[in-house]
Amino acid sequence: MSTLRRELTLVDSGLAIYDIGTVNGVVSDAVAEPRFRTTALASLAALGLALAAVGLYGVVAYSVSQRTVEIGVRMALGATRRDVTGMVLTQGLRLAAIGVALGLAASAALVRTLSALLYGIAPTDVWSFGGAAGVLAGVTLVASYLPARRATRVDPMVALRAL
């Protein structure tokens, strides 16, 4: 920078030289604010996704645990563990599919309002939408499977006595 200043002074001594920097520095300064907003928005979105996943797990796991007696009765009547687990997973994933479809529709409708805050990401980024939907479907799968597996281990006679 000192060499540049000296050479410019030799060309024109009346030239006011200030704030000399590289093109990369100028570009970096120009996109700093949009990049910060996008990072903040992505962080809040990740936090919202994590909260949704924890809440979804809690609700689905509680729902399945409330059906332990029903599952025991089904097993007493001849249903296999695989049948019961499949039934619970199917019901859980059906609810998750409905929720994800409604969420994707609402997100697609509202994404244009956030497009001014995004930097480097398209408002309809398929990977973002698909990733969020995949995480919530995966959480629903785990939230359905673990309590269903636990409920299928209950002795059917204990479940019948609880009626």
Q: What is the pLDDT of residues 12-62, one digit of tens each?
A: 878 777 777 788 888 888 888 888 888 888 899 889 888 988 888 888 788
Q: What is the pLDDT of residues 55-82, one digit of tens each?
A: 888 887 888 778 878 888 888 888 888 9
The DSSP line for the chain is -HHHHHHHHHH-TT--------HHHHHHHHTHHHHHHHHHHHHHHHHHHHHHHHHHHHHHHHHHHHTHHHHHHHHHTT--HHHHHHHHHHHHHHHHHHHHHHHHHHHHHHHHHHGGG-SSS-TT-HHHHHHHHHHHHHHHHHHHHHHHHHHHTS-HHHHHHT-
Q: What is the pLDDT of residues 75-126, one digit of tens each?
A: 888 888 899 888 888 888 888 889 889 988 888 888 877 777 666 777 778 8
- In this prediction the pTM is 0.64
Domain ranges of the chain: 1-30, 33-161
